[in-house]
Amino acid sequence: MLKKPLYFLSIFTLFISCYQPERNCLNFKNGEFTFTSILDGKEQTTTFIRNEELEIDYYQNKIDSSSVRWINDCEYIVKKLNPTNKAEEKSIHMKILSTTDNSYTFEYSIVGESKKIRGTAIKTN
């Protein structure tokens, strides 16, 4: 009697443990993207254009550029080219967690810090 529920639980666990989210990271090394976040209770949208080595951000009528150094197909380091303060001098580690046809979910953190933040970027071209 106990064997049937145990059997189904084993099969269910097997299916869950084998699930891997789709990660076609190469599709997102280049292109134009938007990222929306909540800052101080307000929705803010950033547009950025990235090629393999450079990222240009457009945020609140300001343009900023950063170098991009890929660690592997799904992880890279972003570093501002012209930082204006100590906080902007710190590099950011980006990791693509999953992808769809036109978006990717990622997490990022300042290099050396454990706090990670998640977001989703949408490819617009």
Domains of the chain (ranges, CATH numbers)? 21-123 (2.40.128)
pTM of the model: 0.78
Asked if residue 36 has pLDDT above 70, the reply is yes
Q: Which helix or strand (DSSP H or E) is residue 4 part of?
A: helix 3-18
54-102 tens-digit pLDDT: 999 998 889 999 999 999 999 999 999 999 999 889 999 999 999 999 9
Phi-psi region of 41 (alpha: psi -120 to 50; beta: other; left: phi over 0): left
Residue 121 and residue 30 in contact, taking contact as beta carbons nearer than 8 Å = no
Residue 84 DSSP label = S
